């Protein structure tokens, strides 16, 4: 699978999301098995957060990566209400324990909150010096937030990006591309909802004998510097998602998708889920 450089490491352009994992004990075995299968299939970037299942998703990830830690690029996130100098350190320690790991590859501020950015950055830098994280970044930052942050050390900005939410193409994504800062696209499948039933996406899918989900992943990946992190527990979904990496959409396909979901012609404020 194609890789790109994120936080000084080569990572696959398709990773694995974990939101909604770790919420239901009855699902735990299936979730662990899915993440392990995903790693086997090359989806070695795993995205989680202390928020998901209030730590439950990190516990699932910890179980899934046991014995495989050196094959995985681990991303986790700190809650904004924990983003103070002491709060970041304590939250990271709890995450590391749940992940049964001594280092997080990329640690993100989940969204902007009450603490000054400089304080959070200082806390991230301290974790980096201590070897508890390798790099840090942000999530749900619009362009003005990134410009205010003004930190070349910020490795990524993780935001909502799919055909239903393509406002970032107007300014945020081009800016990140110019800075060489990869954009991690969350909810790339629109959470498996209405998006995947859109007639234009179905038509493009039929042309290529693939599924609408594969079309939307390939659509996001047409942009340089973009990583997608679909969440999939179903093993068929995982396999299809891997195969989406080699799907090339034509100009006609893209025009059909543009007609259904027009590109932004003006600034749109960043959407969040």
What residue ranges bind ligand NDP (CB under 6 A)?
17-19, 47, 110, 139-140, 158, 186-192, 196, 211, 213, 229-234, 237, 240-241, 273
Minimum gap (Å) between residue 210 Cβ and ligand NDP: 10
* Cβ-based nearer residue to ligand NDP, 177 or 191: 191
**Is the CB of 130 or the CB of 193 nearer to ligand NDP?**
193
CB of 146 to ligand NDP, least distance (A): 15
What residues pair up with 183 in beta bridges, in sequence order? Answer: 157, 226
In 3D space, the residue among 270, 10, 52, 264 whose CA is nearest the CA of residue 157 turns out to be: 270
Q: Is 261 assigned a catalytic role?
A: no
**Edge-to-edge strands of the sheet including 104-109?**
45-47, 73-78, 104-109, 133-139, 154-160, 183-186, 226-228
Catalytic, out of 52, 115, 186, 261: 52
Could you tell me which residues come within 8 angstroms of residue 91 by beta carbon, excluding any fewer than 6 positions away? Answer: 50, 78, 79, 82
Looking at residue 130, the DSSP 8-state letter turns out to be T
Residue with Cβ nearer ligand NDP (25 or 251): 25
Q: How far is the CB of 145 from ligand NDP (least distance, A)?
A: 14
Nearer to ligand NDP, 119 or 243 (CB): 243
Least spacing, CB of residue 190 vs ligand NDP, in Å: 6
Q: Which residues is 159 bridged to in the sheet?
A: 185
For ligand NDP, the nearest residue by Cβ is 17
* Min CB(265)–ligand NDP separation in Å: 25
Reduced to 3 states, what is the DSSP secondary structure of residue 12? strand
Give the nearer residue to ligand NDP in terms of CB position, either 15 or 225: 15
CB 21 within 8 A of CB 218: no
Residue 147 phi, psi dihedral angles, 5° rounding: -70, -35
The Cα 245–Cα 180 span in angstroms is 21
Q: Which residues are catalytically annotated?
A: 52
């Amino acid at each position: 699978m194609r890789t790109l450089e994120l936080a000084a490491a080569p990572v696959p352009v398709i990773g694995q999301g974990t939101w909604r994992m770790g919420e239901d004990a009855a699902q735990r075995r299936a979730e662990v098995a899915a993440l392990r299968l995903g790693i086997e299939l090359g989806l070695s970037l795993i995205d989680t957060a202390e928020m998901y299942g209030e730590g439950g998703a990190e516990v699932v990830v910890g179980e899934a990566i046991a014995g495989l830690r050196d094959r995985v690029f681990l991303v986790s996130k700190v809650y904004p209400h924990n983003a103070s100098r002491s709060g970041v350190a304590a939250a990271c320690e709890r995450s590391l324990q749940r992940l049964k790991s001594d280092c997080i590859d990329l640690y993100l501020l989940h969204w902007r909150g009450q603490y000054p950015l400089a304080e959070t950055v200082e806390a991230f830098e301290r974790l980096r010096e201590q070897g508890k994280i390798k790099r840090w970044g942000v999530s749900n930052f619009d362009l003005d937030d990134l410009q205010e942050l003004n930190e070349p050390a910020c490795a990524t900005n993780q935001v909502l990006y799919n055909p239903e939410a393509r406002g970032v193409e107007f300014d945020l994504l081009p800016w990140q591309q110019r800075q060489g800062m990869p954009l991690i696209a969350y909810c790339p499948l629109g959470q498996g909802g209405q998006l995947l039933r859109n007639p234009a996406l179905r038509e493009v899918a039929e042309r290529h004998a693939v599924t609408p989900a594969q079309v939307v992943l390939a659509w996001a990946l047409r942009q340089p510097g973009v990583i997608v992190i679909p969440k999939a527990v179903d093993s068929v979904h995982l396999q299809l998602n891997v195969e989406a990496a080699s799907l090339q959409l034509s100009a006609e396909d893209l025009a059909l998708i543009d007609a259904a979901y027009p590109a932004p012609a003006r600034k749109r404020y960043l959407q969040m889920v």
